[in-house]
Structure 1
């Protein structure tokens, strides 16, 4: 049964879990059973027309929490999570998630590790090692996702299959809700 919580309560619950050591199954269960109350999510929702946005909510040694906002057609490239746990939950709209596995570095070859998943509100993706996320044009609406990373990381690899390259990028924010550690 899904219940709604305010953002501060959500953050507190995750930090309380972390005090006893991050439990993958516990975080997964919590994400599957809760959604952020719409009015509590609104202050973190901010869009751009040219790309999805990364809006920082909270960062500690155990967790980083972001709200990502997607207009139709926005897509995150295939990317990794530095071996850390990453969950993405759809709060509004619908997104397509594709998980990948690395077949070869030279030449760069990745292949889907399963079929694409079109996730609606409440869908939890992850933890995924490599994936892409897209708000497909045919979905016809903006989307919002809540991302939980355990542990935070400052950089990650993105994969460009057309060019056959992997490159390192620094994680940045479009907005920040509270003072985040660098």
Structure 2
């Protein structure tokens, strides 16, 4: 049996989402999913020493991204703007640091996080779920380059980025590195995908 292609999988996800009054649980069935590698090719835009966010599909209720990670890169510690989301490893290995919120952190300003629960390294087919009750994490590509598939139960345009030393968080506008396979021009001095546009 051959693996499912990304386009076919997105179409099935859209059909499932259309039949649901709420998108809670839309990522069920991601565990063990590894898509046909050739179907990912149009969305594979790697950048040295960083990761890229590549939009595959988006409507008012659903967003699908393919993120490409250079070896050893990590995201900032961040939340998901109140959205439920799923992170599915397609290739490579990742370590997740999941942080409990102890105080503040519901908007820009003071925020204190507890010690992280470290998960991984995890490989292809592994899934991490973030929900409004446990939204904060940092993701690191362990070892070589890696690819992750992200499903958001609603588009995420902003998130909070946390500074654990200063016990603060700031709001950041998210940006894409490519739209539907077409690369966007890089922004000058943009250190990460969670930088302002």
**What interval of TM-score do these two structures reach, taking the shorter chain for normalisation?**
0.7 to 0.9
State the secondary structure of the residue aligned to 1:4: coil
Q: Give the drift of 1:113.
A: 5.6
Which stretches in structure 2 are left out of the alignment for 5+ residues? Answer: 183-197
TM-score, normalised to structure 2, is 0.80
2:48 alignment partner in structure 1: 49
Once residues 78 and 147 of structure 1 are traced to their aligned partners in structure 2, the CA distance between those partners, rounded to angstroms, is 16
48 and 65 in structure 1: CA distance in 2 versus 1, 3 angstrom threshold: same
String of CA shifts for 1:67-123, please: whole Å, max 9, x gaps.
111112211011111111110011010011111111022853212463333210111
2:185 alignment partner in structure 1: none
Root-mean-square deviation (Å): 2.1
1:75 alignment partner in structure 2: 74
1:95 alignment partner in structure 2: 94
Aligned 8 A contact 1:88 1:148 in 2: yes
State the secondary structure of the residue aligned to 2:100: strand
TM-score, normalised to structure 1, is 0.87
Which stretches in structure 1 are left out of the alignment for 5+ residues? Answer: none
2:136 alignment partner in structure 1: 130
Once residues 137 and 80 of structure 2 are traced to their aligned partners in structure 1, the CA distance between those partners, rounded to angstroms, is 9
Once residues 30 and 161 of structure 2 are traced to their aligned partners in structure 1, the CA distance between those partners, rounded to angstroms, is 26
String of CA shifts for 1:12-70, please: whole Å, max 9, x gaps.
11111111214544522x21153211100111111111311111111011211111111
Deviates more, 1:31-40 or 1:53-62: 31-40
